[in-house]
């Protein structure tokens, strides 16, 4: 993931209005259109793409808020969370704790992270005895849409590898039980000779026995059995902010896997998914829904029930509304993640007309029609 400064790309300040952003975008997109740069089309294309990407994020208030806060947006997620989301079972919004039976699902993630760091690309060689930072962990939590109004505190239980205190993460008994690696004599590297068509070639490679450390464990730490870390269950409380959006990532520094040796602990990323009632649609801070009323209510007005984020409310519908008309209920949206200001709810009115009329209804309506001079059969 490359971290780009979208504001810089568009040449606008951090507090630029949507209008400023649009203007800057239009100007730049004209300037950098690849068709205008026949000589260096490639550069222009890169620039063009960059500008479009910056605009896509900054022109969307929700994405912009996320970018301002976390420095990345949506699926521009570091590979480590993506891996975790995949391991948690397909959808990134799958409930981490449900379905697969409690803690069972954790194994995959642990193995993926732990295995990943072990089978790294020779990073340990340069890390030497100083150790490595622990891997990050991603967990998914679900909250209700109504929780986004004030924010909510959630308790999360998960498993992580904890750096072993008994050996200070070294895996050696008391953290001191080492001996010089007999294979490399402490150099951490071995010379290998291979016979080829061109003659004998000598290559220096990392010592496979000690992994480049130059020393090996003499007696394993009994607490962690030489791993330097052990699994533990951890509970933490996390505050999900008001206005939280689907896919929002909250970072808890140092709550990930323990590092090895002197390495720091990794971080925990809590990925929020939001359960939205099926009849409500959230777009940014606004809520959209539909309600069906009887034609007589539409004509004469009525008190109707409308479902909102906080549950059903009574709404005084005035007479004379038209089918498809949208009514706005102020302040019944959800808060904006950045400003905290609540949006509105927009309700589309569907008007139901009767398919059959009773004899009496027919008589009365015919009278109404005659009275208004409307021709009916
Ligand atoms: Zn230990
Ligand atoms: Zn060695």
Q: Note the pLDDT tens digit of each residue in 116-170.
A: 333 333 333 333 456 788 899 999 999 999 999 999 999 999 999 998 989 988 8
- Residues contacting 288, CB < 8 A, separation 6+: 280, 281, 282, 345, 346, 347, 348
CA 367 vs CA 295, 299, 354, 376, 377: distances in Å: 17, 16, 17, 10, 12
Check residue 321 and give its pLDDT: 93
341 φψ region: left (φ > 0), alpha (ψ -120 to 50), beta (else): beta
Ligand nearest the Cα of residue 207 is: 2
The pLDDT tens digits for 236-250 are 999 999 999 999 999
Q: What separation in Å is there between the alpha carbon of 124 and the centre of ligand 1?
A: 19
Q: Band the pLDDT of 115: cuts 50, 70, 90.
A: very low
Residue 268 φ/ψ, nearest 5 degrees: -105, 130
CA 104 vs CA 107, 140, 146, 204: distances in Å: 6, 15, 30, 43
The pLDDT tens digits for 297-332 are 999 999 999 999 999 999 999 999 999 999 999 999
Q: Which of 8-12, 156-160, 241-245, 271-275 has the lowest mean pLDDT?
A: 8-12
Single pTM value for the model: 0.56
Check residue 285 and give its pLDDT: 96
Ligand nearest the Cα of residue 208 is: 2
Check residue 72 and give its pLDDT: 66
More confident residue, 92 or 291: 291
The arithmetic mean of pLDDT across residues 10-31, rounded, is 88
Check residue 330 and give its pLDDT: 96
Residues 240, 246: Cα–Cα separation, whole Å: 11
Check residue 93 and give its pLDDT: 33
Q: What separation in Å is there between the alpha carbon of 25 and the centre of ligand 2?
A: 57
Residue 266 φ/ψ, nearest 5 degrees: -75, -175
Tokens 């009525």 found at: 302
Q: What separation in Å is there between the alpha carbon of 90 and the centre of ligand 2?
A: 41
Q: What separation in Å is there between the alpha carbon of 125 and the centre of ligand 2?
A: 11
CA 356 vs CA 128, 298, 359, 362, 375: distances in Å: 84, 18, 10, 9, 19
Mean pLDDT over the full length of the chain: 82
Check residue 74 and give its pLDDT: 52
Task: Spell out the domains of the chain, with CATH numbers in brackets.
Answer: 6-59 (1.10.287.110), 131-177+218-275 (2.60.260.20), 281-372 (2.60.260.20)
Check residue 26 and give its pLDDT: 87
Tokens 């009916």 found at: 376
Ligand nearest the Cα of residue 185 is: 2
Q: What separation in Å is there between the alpha carbon of 230 and the centre of ligand 1?
A: 8
Residue 346 φ/ψ, nearest 5 degrees: -110, 125
Q: What separation in Å is there between the alpha carbon of 122 and the centre of ligand 2?
A: 14
Among residues 60, 49, 46, 51, the alpha carbon closest in space to that of 18 is found at 60
- Residues contacting 65, CB < 8 A, separation 6+: 245, 336, 337, 338
Which residues line ion ligand 1, judged by CB < 5 Å?
164, 166-167, 221, 223-224
- Catalogue the long-range contacts made by 202-211 (C-beta closer than 8 Å, 24 or more residues apart): 206/122, 206/125, 207/181, 207/183, 208/183, 209/181, 209/182, 209/183, 209/184, 210/181, 210/183, 210/184, 211/124, 211/125
Q: What separation in Å is there between the alpha carbon of 115 and the centre of ligand 1?
A: 18
Check residue 36 and give its pLDDT: 79
More confident residue, 89 or 57: 57
Residues 242, 150: Cα–Cα separation, whole Å: 5
pLDDT > 90? residue 275:
yes
In this structure, the number of other CB atoms found within 10 A of the CB of residue 118 comes to 12
Q: What separation in Å is there between the alpha carbon of 253 and the centre of ligand 1?
A: 23
Query: Is the distance from CB of 309 to CB of 287 less than 8 angstroms?
Result: yes
Ligand nearest the Cα of residue 161 is: 1
The arithmetic mean of pLDDT across residues 251-255, rounded, is 93
Residue 202 φ/ψ, nearest 5 degrees: -105, 130
The pLDDT tens digits for 53-69 are 888 888 887 778 777 77
Q: Show the CA angle centred on residue 208, arms to residues 203 and 211, nearest 5°.
A: 110
The pLDDT tens digits for 326-356 are 999 999 999 999 999 999 999 999 999 999 9
Q: What separation in Å is there between the alpha carbon of 110 and the centre of ligand 2?
A: 28
Check residue 96 and give its pLDDT: 35
Q: What separation in Å is there between the alpha carbon of 206 and the centre of ligand 2?
A: 8
Q: What separation in Å is there between the alpha carbon of 264 and the centre of ligand 1?
A: 16
Among residues 163, 322, 374, the alpha carbon closest in space to that of 257 is found at 163
Q: Band the pLDDT of 3: cuts 50, 70, 90.
A: low
Residues 212, 125: Cα–Cα separation, whole Å: 5
Q: Which of 78-82, 105-109, 369-373 has the lowest mean pLDDT?
A: 105-109
Check residue 130 and give its pLDDT: 65
Q: What separation in Å is there between the alpha carbon of 213 and the centre of ligand 2?
A: 7
More confident residue, 89 or 132: 132
Q: What separation in Å is there between the alpha carbon of 59 and the centre of ligand 1?
A: 51
Residues 37, 32: Cα–Cα separation, whole Å: 7
CA 21 vs CA 17, 18, 45, 61: distances in Å: 6, 5, 20, 12
Q: What separation in Å is there between the alpha carbon of 223 and the centre of ligand 1?
A: 5
């Amino acid at each position: 993931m490359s971290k780009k400064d979208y504001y810089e790309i568009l040449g606008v300040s951090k507090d630029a209005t949507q209008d400023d952003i649009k203007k800057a975008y239009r100007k730049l997109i004209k300037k950098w259109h690849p068709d205008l740069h026949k000589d260096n089309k490639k550069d222009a294309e890169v620039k063009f793409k960059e500008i479009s990407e910056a605009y896509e994020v900054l022109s969307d208030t929700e994405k912009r808020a996320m970018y301002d806060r976390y420095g990345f947006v949506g699926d521009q997620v570091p590979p480590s969370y993506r891996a975790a989301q995949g391991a948690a079972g397909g959808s990134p919004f799958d409930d981490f704790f449900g379905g697969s039976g409690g803690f069972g699902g954790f194994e995959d993630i642990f193995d993926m992270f732990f295995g990943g760091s072990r089978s790294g690309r020779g990073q340990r060689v340069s890390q030497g005895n100083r150790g490595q930072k622990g891997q990050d962990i991603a967990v998914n939590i679900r909250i209700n849409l109504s929780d986004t109004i004030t924010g909510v505190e959630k308790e999360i239980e998960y498993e992580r590898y904890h750096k072993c205190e008994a050996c200070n993460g070294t895996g050696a008994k008391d953290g001191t039980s080492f001996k010089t690696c007999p294979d490399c004599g402490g150099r951490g590297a071995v010379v290998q000779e291979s016979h080829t068509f061109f003659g004998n070639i000598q290559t220096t490679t990392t010592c496979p026995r000690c992994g480049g450390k130059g020393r090996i464990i003499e007696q394993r730490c009994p607490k962690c059995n030489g791993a330097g870390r052990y699994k533990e269950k951890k509970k933490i409380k996390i505050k999900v902010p008001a206005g939280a959006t689907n896919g929002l990532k909250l970072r808890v520094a140092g709550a990930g896997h323990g590092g090895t040796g002197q390495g720091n602990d990794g971080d925990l990323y809590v990925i929020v998914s939001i359960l939205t009632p099926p009849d409500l649609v959230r777009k940014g801070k606004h809520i959209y829904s539909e309600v069906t009323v009887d034609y007589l209510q539409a004509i004469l007005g009525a008190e109707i029930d409308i479902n909102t984020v906080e549950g059903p409310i009574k709404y005084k519908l005035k007479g004379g509304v038209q089918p498809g008309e949208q009514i706005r209920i102020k302040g019944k949206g959800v808060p904006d993640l950045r400003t905290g200001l609540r949006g509105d709810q927009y309700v589309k009115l569907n008007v139901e007309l009767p398919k059959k009329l009773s004899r009496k209804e027919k008589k009365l309506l015919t009278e109404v029609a005659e009275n208004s001079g409307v021709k009916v059969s």
